[in-house]
Structure 1
Amino acid sequence: MGGDISSPIFEGLERLCVPERNGIVSAPAYPGIERIQAQFRGAAFEPHRHDTYALGVTIRGVQTFNYRGEQRYSLPGRVIVLHPDEVHDGGAGTDDGLTYRILYLEPSLLLQCLEGTGSGLPFVNDPVVDDARLANLLLAALGELDRELDELFVDDFVSLLTRGLAAHARLPQKPLGTIAWTEIDAARAYLEAHALEGVGSRELERVTGLDRFTLSRHFRAAFATSPHRFLLMRRLQRARAMIAEGEPLAEVAAAVGFADQSHLTRHFKKAFGMAPGAWSGMVGAGRARV
């Protein structure tokens, strides 16, 4: 994979600057997940180890670290997979400096997802992985460090992450089996009815009787999307309708559950291919011609 910052894999990260000095930016905390952006020149970290998985994406520069007796190197777009209790250091491999984003994931989250599958925690032998799909998955959690993680997003994220790590660990994937249609349809109906509210994992567990990770797997198998994405699209569809009615964008964002207008704009563009303002202009022009 190349290191071109214009690549789709880096969408939303264009404002990052080449590091002038060492620094770390931390995201809002979520139980079991810590997210940071680090940028520095030279050697930054002495040998140390975590009790978590460290899963990141190199954004700019050459990332180098000693891990399991070898010096490793990662280029932009590559995924870093460091396992709990493995000693490693870290630094920039060239004088141009380094920027990367990484999350620290408590193994208990993966174990919850693996419960009942008969599989243990996945061990990826190569700590530098060239996998655009896995990189994009990680950047879905690391792309907006100023935002808190949504509970439904985390459920699906951990489920997909477990699958991605298992693929690189060469662990056999067991078939899902019969889809729990009654429970999944109940989840879909509940999400539609409460689309403008903050729906949590415990609510869906109560509605369906399924644990959050089983629910996420069956929902994706049934509807080819996650509960989090399904809920987000319902909000965006409502936003589009309000915009077509001439409502101010800031009011639309607040009404459909987005933090602010810029938050709405980012998700609207990803879903519909244009900004809300452009959509408003198009539907406005359409009304004028009628």
Structure 2
Amino acid sequence: MHRHDTYAIGVTLGGVQTFQYRGASRVSLPGQVIVLHPDEVHDGGAGTEAGLHYRMIYLEPSLLLRGLGEGGAGLPFVRQPVFSDPELRDELLSLLGPLDQGLEDLAADALVARIARGLARHAGQPLKPLGPLALRQVERARDYLEAHALEAVRSEELEDVAGLDRFTLYRHFRRAFATSPHRFLLMRRLGQARTLIEAGEPLAEIAAATGFADQSHLTRHFKKAFGLTPGRWAGLTGAGQA
């Protein structure tokens, strides 16, 4: 039995996860989301001999509160520690999948904001409306991302450009452009990568030139965005052929 001073939020990937939490025995199956609140005593382990595979993020309460923004009414309390939520599960796994590569600033901001809204929803804690759209500020942020798409843009840079804190910017950016700053940046990089693929450049060099950690990192995002691998795209476009 132990406790954390953070929220523990994760997804069971394989096996059966069992744990004691708030006076009861809990079970999480593959694909289910787990939310443990700060300072709540719990244990955890595999429920069968098949073992257990899961991923977890430990989130500071103060950061979660910032992620909720002005619309939040305090930290959310989710009474059911295990639940099914395909949207929240997929958002967690899309960013927690390549753990060895870490998270860029803008990706981490998006993850915190999505988790905050997901937990508020499961806590039955509606958020206040966003208010008037900060269009000029988010347009400045968009233009900056467009101009620096191949660089590792830091959250502080974008805050200075837009004149908004990162989580307020995230919410206004999504409202204005139907995507997050991180996703916008990623699609600019993938567009440039596609152009270089069509020009016949080596994939490893393309990955390095367009801001991806390596070729596998590029391939994963390329396939998710366009439905096929960079190699397949090269073949279809005749890249490198005389």
The structure 2 residue matched to 1:187, chosen from 123, 134, 141, is: 141
Matches of 2:174 and 2:72, distance apart in 1: 21
Structure 1: tracts of 5 or more residues without a match: 1-46
Q: Does structure 1 residue 95 correspond to structure 2 residue 39?
A: no
Matches of 1:270 and 1:121, distance apart in 2: 33
List structure 1 runs of 4+ shifted beyond 2 angstroms: 113-118, 285-288
The structure 2 residue matched to 1:133, chosen from 87, 102, 119, is: 87
Counterpart for residue 60 of structure 2: 106
Matches of 1:169 and 1:205, distance apart in 2: 29
Q: Is the 8 A contact 2:192 2:210 kept in 1?
A: yes
Q: Percent identity?
A: 67
The structure 2 residue matched to 1:156, chosen from 107, 110, 125, is: 110
Q: Does structure 1 residue 165 correspond to structure 2 residue 119?
A: yes
Matches of 1:103 and 1:65, distance apart in 2: 17
After superposition, where does 1:1-290 map in structure 2 within 5 Å?
A: 47-284=1-238
Shift of 1:115: 4.3
Amino acid at match of 1:235: R
TM-score, with structure 1 as normaliser: 0.81
Q: What SS does the aligned partner of 2:44 have?
A: strand
Matches of 1:251 and 1:144, distance apart in 2: 20
Amino acid at match of 1:199: V
Shift of 1:87: 0.4
Structure number with the higher helix fraction is 2
Q: What RMSD, in angstroms, separates the aligned Cα atoms of the two structures?
A: 1.4
Matches of 2:214 and 2:198, distance apart in 1: 19
Shift of 1:134: 1.1
Q: Is the 8 A contact 2:68 2:117 kept in 1?
A: no
Q: What SS does the aligned partner of 1:225 have?
A: coil
Counterpart for residue 11 of structure 1: none
Amino acid at match of 1:200: R
Counterpart for residue 27 of structure 1: none
Matches of 1:167 and 1:115, distance apart in 2: 14
TM-score, with structure 2 as normaliser: 0.96
Amino acid at match of 1:59: L
Matches of 2:135 and 2:241, distance apart in 1: 41
1:11-40 CA-to-partner distances (Å, cap 9, x unmatched) read: xxxxxxxxxxxxxxxxxxxxxxxxxxxxxx
Aligned length in residues: 242
